[in-house]
């Protein structure tokens, strides 16, 4: 490439010859110079625009800052609303846990002075040697989510424990552990004895309570009356089904105050002592059977 320079100071034009490499270097410089100017301008605009006392630049910076602040405020508000919802859920779960804990305490006879669910447990310890740090928003949300899962799990477990405890208490109420008469004494125990009528050795499948005629007979446990009528050898007899194959019998009664299908509670009066059936005198014959097999009633009565 030849470049001709013409000037009034020169007597004649001057020619400058450029090689191919020189032409390429000049073209590159012409292209790079605007890019360099753009980079410098962008750097000044981003990092030093606030220091440049130009109204237009300062208005751009303030506008950008206001936009970022608004976005940050919206983000923080959304996070606060989400955390408020989680906090409300945690508070309701804690109230449920407190209520379940109090009910379980009452079911197990634990007083509030021994295990107070309304009071925060004591916590403490020496300062850790490991450097501490502030939680990030992500770590905080992870902690909240993990705690929510633990609360739900504990709530389900306590609910299951309460159900099992209620079932256990119901079984205890049904067990025939209350003496069927409050007065009187054993006139015949459970097991082998001499039959009072034949004098032969015979197995006695219950216990006999010596009591006066008309003495109240009480249900030894809660259940459903499945028999209330005369029965060979037993005279007037009542049977109560306590569930799980367990029944109790009350024989030789003078009066029967319940009928088949009645639901009776433990300790409820169901009849009166008499001398009906195969009997040598007024007394109550009391039996406990499991799946039809006679059990020693004393084992159940001692459980009370």
* Domain 185-303 grouped into CATH 1.10.287.130: no
Quote the pLDDT of residue 254: 96
Task: Spell out where the chain has E strands.
Answer: 2-5, 14-17, 185-188, 191-194, 201-204, 207-210, 216-218, 223-231, 235-243, 246-251, 253-256, 263-264, 269-273, 283-290, 293-295
Q: How far apart are CA 207 and CA 300, in angstroms?
A: 12
Confidence of residue 204 (pLDDT cuts 50, 70, 90): very high
Could you tell me the two tokens for 156? 């389900």
Nearest to 269 by CA among 166, 169, 136, 180: 180
Quote the pLDDT of residue 115: 52
Question: Cα–chain-centroid distance for residue 160?
Answer: 7
205-261: pLDDT as tens digits: 999 999 999 999 999 999 999 999 999 999 999 999 998 889 999 999 999 999 999
- List the domain boundaries for the chain: 2-47, 185-303
Q: How far apart are CA 67 and CA 52, in angstroms?
A: 20
Could you tell me the two tokens for 130? 């490991």
14-58: pLDDT as tens digits: 666 666 777 677 777 777 877 887 777 676 665 555 555 656 556
Nearest to 100 by CA among 156, 56, 21, 24: 156
Rounded to two decimals, the pTM is 0.52
% the chain with pLDDT above 70: 69
What is the total residue count of the chain?
304
- Whether the pLDDT of residue 116 is over 60: the answer is no
């Amino acid at each position: 490439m030849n470049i001709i320079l013409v000037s009034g100071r020169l007597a004649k034009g001057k020619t400058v010859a450029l090689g191919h490499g020189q032409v390429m270097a000049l073209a590159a410089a012409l292209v790079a110079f605007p890019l360099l100017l753009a980079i410098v301008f962008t750097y000044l605009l981003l990092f030093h625009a606030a220091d440049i006392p130009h109204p237009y630049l300062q208005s751009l910076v303030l506008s950008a800052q206001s936009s970022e602040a608004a976005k940050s405020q919206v983000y923080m508000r959304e996070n606060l609303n989400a955390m408020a919802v989680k906090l409300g859920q945690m508070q309701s779960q804690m109230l449920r846990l407190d209520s379940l804990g109090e009910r379980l305490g009452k079911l197990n006879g634990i007083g509030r002075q021994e295990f107070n669910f309304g009071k925060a447990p004591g916590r403490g310890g020496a300062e850790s040697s490991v450097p501490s740090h502030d939680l990030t928003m992500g770590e905080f949300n992870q902690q909240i989510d993990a705690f929510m899962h633990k609360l739900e799990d504990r709530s389900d477990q306590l609910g299951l424990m309460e159900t099992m405890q209620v079932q256990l208490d119901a079984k205890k109420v049904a067990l025939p552990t209350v003496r069927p008469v409050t007065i009187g004494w054993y006139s015949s125990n459970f097991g082998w004895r001499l039959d009072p009528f034949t004098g032969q050795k015979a197995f006695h499948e219950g216990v006999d309570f010596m009591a006066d005629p008309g003495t109240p007979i009480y249900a030894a446990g809660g259940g459903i009356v499945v028999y209330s009528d005369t029965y060979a050898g037993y005279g007037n007899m009542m049977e109560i089904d306590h569930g799980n194959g367990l029944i109790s019998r009350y024989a030789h009664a003078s009066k029967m105050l319940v009928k088949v299908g009645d639901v009776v509670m433990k300790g409820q009066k169901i009849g009166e002592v008499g001398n009906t059936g195969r009997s040598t005198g007024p007394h109550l014959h009391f039996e406990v059977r499991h799946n039809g097999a006679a059990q020693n009633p004393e084992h159940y009565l001692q459980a009370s």
